[in-house]
Amino acid sequence: MMLWKRSLLAACLILASAVQAAEVNVYSGRQEELIKPVLDRFTQETGIKVNLITGKPDELIGRMQTEGRNSPADVLISSDVGRLSRAKTAGVLQVVDSATLTGAIPAYLRDPEQQWFGLTLRARPILYVPAKVDPAQLSTLQDLADPKWKGKICIRSSDNIYNQSMVAALLAHLGEEKTQAWANGFVNNFAQPPKGGDRDQIKAAAAGVCDLAIANTYYLGGMLDDPKDKAAAEKLKVFWPNQNDFGTHVNISGAGVAKFAPNKAEAIKLLEYMVKPEAQDWYAATNHEYPVVEGVKWSPLLESFGHFKADSLALAKLGELNAKAIEIMDKAGWK
């Protein structure tokens, strides 16, 4: 009888331990409203509780470094490959062996050593005011260094990781000398000193400050969904540059499993869930980001922007070239 009780107690302790372990701690550089709904769906489907901590990506990476082996982080989510690359270099991520992830995500959208994975695709095209610009005048990102665009371009500052990655992509394609020459001319064509975020560039173009704006499409999509910003957003159209060469610059939001993840199995389950068609569809419909998984339908709003040839440059290169890209931007006087 005593043996039976001991066995029952042991079984209860094992079950309690399993229940306690059914959680995953997420450090997210993405805003809560952009990520929490899909995390809540994951919990509903799996029973795995998600503990979410949001913050600036670089600060979260620094926190993981400081916490070391004692870090509770299981997953790091970031809104740009540049910061995922920094996390890898900082040694806070680990290799993940998942056939689900490597099978669903194209190779150029994930780390070649499987430490980070793209979960959504975001494009950074040229937005133009059709009342002022004939799209036949537009062609490539490189062409925006031409003096004909002097005083006509709005873009955010050089300390923005999206712009750093965009310049890093040009650096990979054109080399240092040509990219520096482009940056010099491009900066000379700014309509105003860079300030604010992507939405501010769109609003500036709508207000007549500039004729062209560089911004990620999901910002335009969000504004078109927002009654207070819709009128401004409707004044701009999307132009897909570089369709006759390497394609329009794209980036990702993505994630990796923390090096010392206490809940590694649950962390991998979360990443695998986020490439399921239903999660990818949610992102496309709600956040206006493109699916990384082939075959997932775009939302009607994304369809309205038109289909395009995306740059298939391995995004790992953007992290490798980040420091040189910043150097080029500084030399060009890009504030």
Rounded distance between C-alpha atoms, residue 230 and residue 269, angstroms: 37
Round to whole Å and give the CA distance between 188 and 86. 30
What 3-state class would DSSP assign to 44?
A: helix
Q: Which residues are annotated as a binding site?
A: 218-219
Distant-in-sequence, close-in-space partners of 163: CB < 8 Å, separation ≥ 6: 155, 156, 157, 214, 329, 334
Q: How far is CA 249 from CA 57, 127, 325, in A?
A: 22, 13, 15
Using CB atoms within 10 Å of the CB of residue 63, give its burial: 0 to 12 exposed, 13 to 18 middle, 19+ buried: middle
Strand 117-123 relative to strand 250-257: parallel, antiparallel, unpaired?
Answer: antiparallel
How far apart are the C-alpha atoms of 294 and 106, rounded to whole Å? Answer: 9
**Residues 6 or more apart in contact with residue 66 via CB below 8 angstroms:** none
- d(CA 179, CA 142) in angstroms, rounded, equals 9
Are 129 and 292 in contact by the 8 Å Cβ rule? The answer is no
Residue 130 three-state SS: coil
Closest CA to 54 of 68, 34, 71: 34
List the binding residues for Fe cation.
218-219
- Are the beta carbons of 205 and 101 closer than 8 angstroms? no
3-state secondary structure of 282: helix
Helix axes 264-273 and 32-46, enclosed angle (nearest 10): 110
